[in-house]
């Protein structure tokens, strides 16, 4: 697909993306037909989600071969805020080994993302289930139970989520959230006397670990 700017890319989305979104919307409508707690999902936002997914795939497809190693999927999915902890990653690797799938093209990437999306939506407590692994680890590290995590403790125990991020990358993530991330509420971050991040809330914690720009 030619490299065009985001506006034009959104106005003329890939047919695969349009078909994927249509399938998800139809599935949601069918699933929720008899539900008293119907949730309405934005087609525009879902379209943007898969456009972002395409960008992430192209970023990881360094050799421009149209495929990447299947073991990259959990990391790539987490860059789109799908939660994969160590247990999920191990289960995924076992599944792919049994199915003898070693490479992933863009269509398979979309399919795997869709599977997780539908699984999450089909659970009544979608947001709670989706963030359960992050919440579990956050609560363990929040020893003082103040709902504010000490970033030094987070720096030490970050491996709990399956990532090995060196100190420099970790500091970049902190600075990115402080300076550039419009999603972070000012109340989610506590600064010290040197204007450095000292504590972060659960929302800031999840956003930092799922932000793909510097991972």
> Which contacts (CB < 8 Å, 24+ apart) does range 86-95 have?
86/160, 86/161, 86/162, 88/133, 89/162
Average pLDDT of the residues in 8-16: 54
Domain ends where: 71, 102, 128?
Answer: 128
Work out the number of other CB atoms within 10 angstroms of the CB of residue 23: 14
pLDDT of residue 214: 36
Return the pLDDT at 46: 82
pTM above 0.85, yes or no: no
> Do 57 and 161 belong to one domain?
no
Residue 31 belongs to a domain: yes
Same domain, 120 and 89: yes
Q: Are residues 153 and 70 in the same domain?
A: no
Query: Does residue 178 sit within a domain?
Result: yes
Shared-domain flag, residues 116 and 196: no
Tell which of 99, 128, 157 closes a domain: 128
Domain that holds residue 38: 6-128
Handedness of CA 151, 134, 55, 100 (dihedral sign): positive
| Same domain flag for 14 and 119 | yes
Does the pLDDT at position 176 exceed 80? no
d(C-alpha 201, C-alpha 185), whole Å: 10
Q: In whole angstroms, what is the distance from residue 18 CA to residue 44 CA?
A: 10
Does residue 113 sit in the same domain as residue 28?
A: yes
- Please tell me whether residues 39 and 93 are part of one structural domain: yes
Task: Return the number of other C-beta atoms located less than 10 Å from residue 212's C-beta.
Answer: 16
Residues 144 and 109 placed together within one structural domain of the fold = no
74 contacts: CB under 8 Å, gap ≥ 6: 84, 88, 89, 92, 162
| Residue 55 forms part of a structural domain | yes
Tell me what percent of the chain is helix, strand and coil, each rounded to the nearest 5.
60, 5, 35
- pLDDT tens across 54-83, in order? 999 999 999 999 999 999 998 898 888 787
Which CATH number fits the domain that encloses residue 65?
1.10.238
Q: Which residues contact 101 (CB under 8 A, 6 or more apart)?
A: 70, 108
Contact yes or no for 211/176 (Cβ under 8 A): yes
Q: What confidence category does residue 129 fall into, taking pLDDT thresholds of 50, 70 and 90?
A: very low
103 shares a domain with 160:
no
Question: Looking at 34-43, 67-76, 123-132, 155-164, which range is the least confident one?
Answer: 123-132
* Residues 133 and 209 sit within 8 Å (Cβ to Cβ): no
For residue 1, is it within any domain?
A: no
186 belongs to a structural domain: yes
Domain termination site, one of 91, 107, 128: 128
Are 207 and 201 contacting, i.e. CB atoms less than 8 angstroms apart? no
């Amino acid at each position: 697909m030619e490299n065009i700017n985001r506006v034009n890319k959104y106005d003329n989305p890939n047919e695969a993306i349009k078909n994927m979104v249509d399938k998800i919307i139809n599935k949601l409508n069918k699933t929720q037909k008899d539900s008293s707690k119907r949730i309405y999902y934005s087609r525009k936002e879902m379209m943007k989600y898969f456009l972002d997914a395409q960008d992430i795939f192209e970023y990881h497809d360094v050799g421009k071969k149209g495929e990447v190693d299947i073991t990259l999927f959990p990391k790539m999915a987490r860059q789109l805020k799908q939660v994969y902890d160590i247990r999920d990653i191990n289960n995924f690797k076992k599944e792919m080994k049994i199915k003898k799938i070693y490479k992933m093209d863009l269509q398979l990437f979309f399919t795997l993302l869709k599977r997780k999306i539908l699984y999450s939506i089909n659970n009544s407590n979608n947001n709670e289930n989706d963030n359960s692994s992050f919440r579990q680890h956050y609560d363990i590290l929040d020893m003082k139970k103040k709902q504010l995590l000490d970033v030094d403790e987070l720096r030490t125990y970050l491996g709990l989520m399956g990532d090995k991020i060196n100190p420099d990358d970790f500091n970049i993530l902190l600075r990115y959230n402080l300076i550039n991330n419009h999603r972070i509420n000012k109340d989610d971050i506590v600064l010290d006397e040197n204007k450095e991040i000292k504590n972060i809330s659960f929302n800031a914690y999840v956003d930092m670990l799922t932000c793909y720009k510097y991972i």
